[in-house]
Every structure is written in structure tokens, then in C-alpha cells.
Amino acid sequence: MTGGKKLGFVGLGVMGGPMAGHLLEHGAELTVYNRTRAKAEALVARGARYAEMAELATRCEVILTCVGRTEDVWECLEAMKDAPSGTLFIDHSTISPGGAQDMHSELAKRGHRFVDAPITGGSMGAQKGQLTIFLGGDPADVEEAIEVVKPYSKRSGAVGGPGAGQKFKLTNQIAIAGALLGLCECMSFAKKSGLDLEQVKDLIGGGAAGSWTFDNYAPRILTEDWTPGFSIRNQRKDFGYCREAASEIGAAIPGTMLVDSLLKLLDEEGHADWTTAALYKALLEL
């Protein structure tokens, strides 16, 4: 468990901030870093220490990262290259599977350990400590990582070797694409048919067509609340990794690419920071 462990957390956005908070609540000795320092202030007020990444790396036994793209993770790992031998890095970012495999190999050369541990469950899952986490890496390291992340995980699983966590996350994103399209297409059709969208949410969402996506995003559609949540920018980033991985293995993901092309319409209108449920708005305008 985390109690008494010296942990570092890099990346305190809508996901990382609440996750780091759960570690504090469970007694971790926590050092944090974020590019925008103001996002760390609430955690520092609760007892966390703030440090630049190079200093953070020297203070911690386990370092967790939750940033953006593959290149962002590389930048963090380079800044923390002087961490003591044996340091365990747990990366919660969604990146390319090949990138995660390369990171595992590179850190092994440095005497460090690396587990790719992407997350799903959205900002509410992070706030409630109910994320699902897919962990890939060496078995002993994954077992240790599962114990570290318990304060904010509802489900966590060892899914294979280095890079397997990312492959699982991309598989998850492909499933989400279909569920998102189904919801938004359904609701836009209902709207144009003159149906009561509240009834659609309750009756259809409560039946065979129901899903996590329906439960969590239909209320946003009713109020046209496009605040993230999970942003179009991040979803399209993930879909880009899905496209790359699918191309490498010869997998067809036409539904995912269709959803990406529809979200691109909103992205190009300057709405990259809206929640993905705004796909409903794009379909209404088609």
C-alpha cells in the first residue's frame, strides 16, 4: 500500500490532480510537479511537497506520470534520468504501445523499472477513486504498481508485458468510439424527430441500448454542457495512436476513424477542449 511510501507524481491535470490527492489521503509521502505550478497549490496545502522533476526524482521510490503524448513522457523521463537505481516509474498517460516498449528498454539500461498503466473512467472516476487501470510490464513490477495505485483504482489488472497496457487502452478507446457514436446519433435523431430527450435518456438508456456512455454523457447532451470531462483534443490524440497501431497489425477500425472524422469538424471550429459528447452537436449540424 501507499502509506509511508515516498511517491512522486508528475502531471496534475483533470485526472492527475485527483489521483495524487487520493495518494495523500492514504498516507503517502508525496512530492508533486506540474508545468503550471498553480495546479499543485491545493495538494501542497494538503501536505504534498513541490519540486522540479530533477529534484523529485532523487526523493522518491516510485514516480507516477500522467501527461499527454509519447514525446511528453520521454521529456519527463529524461528530466528524471538521475533517479536512484531501482526506481519504479508508473506511467498513466495514453501513448503508443511501441513508445512504452522503448521506454521499458531504455529505463532498464539506466537501472530503472517501468510499467505502462493507462487509465480509463473519466474525470469523475479520478475524483471518486474508481478508475480502471491496465498495467503492462515485468510481473514483479506490475504487482508492486497495482498496490501503489489502489487508492484511485476500482479495477486494475496485469495485462501482459511492456506495452500491453497501452494496447488494452487503445482497445478500450475503440469500444468507446462506437458507444459515443451510438449515443450521439441516437440523441440527434430523437431531437430531429421531436421526441422528449429526457424520456429518451430514461427509457432507452435504461434498456438494452444503455451503457456507461449513455449514463454519463446523455445528461450533458440534455443541458448542452460541453465542458470536459474528456476533451475532443485528448480523444483525437488517442484515436491517432489507435490508427497507428491498427495499421501496424492490419486491423480494421472503420467506426473509430468515422468518429475521429466527426470530432475533427468540432476541432477545426476551435472546440478541441469541449467534451467528446459534443459529437451530438456535430451530428445535429450535418
pLDDT tens per residue, range 121-176? 988 899 999 999 999 999 999 999 999 999 999 999 999 999 999 999 999 999 99
Residue 85 has pLDDT above 80, yes or no: yes
Name the active-site residue from 6, 109, 169, 192: 169
CATH code for the structural domain at 6-161: 3.40.50.720
* Peptide bond just before 11 cis, omega within 30 deg: no
Q: What is the pLDDT of residue 5?
A: 85
Mean pLDDT of all residues in 58-82:
97
Residue spans of alpha helices (H) in 3-138: 16-25, 41-45, 53-59, 70-79, 97-110, 122-128
pLDDT at 3: 61
Beta strands in 170-232 (DSSP E): none
Beta strands 88-91 and 62-65 are parallel
pTM for this model (two decimals): 0.94
Q: In angstroms, rounded to a whole number, what is the distance separating the alpha carbons of residues 86 and 110?
A: 9
pLDDT band at residue 1, thresholds of 50, 70 and 90?
low
**Residue 265 Cα distances to 177, 233, 279, 281, angstroms:** 16, 12, 9, 10
Res. 222: pLDDT tops 80: yes
Name the CATH topology of 167-285. N-(1-d-carboxylethyl)-l-norvaline Dehydrogenase; domain 2 (1.10.1040)
Tens-digit pLDDT profile for residues 172-202: 999 999 999 999 999 999 999 999 999 999 9
Q: Tell me whether residue 191 is one of the annotated catalytic residues.
A: no
Write down the pLDDT at residue 122.
87
The pLDDT of residue 157: 96
Q: For all residues of the chain together, what is the average pLDDT?
A: 96
Residue 82, pLDDT score: 96
Domains in the chain: boundaries: 6-161, 167-285
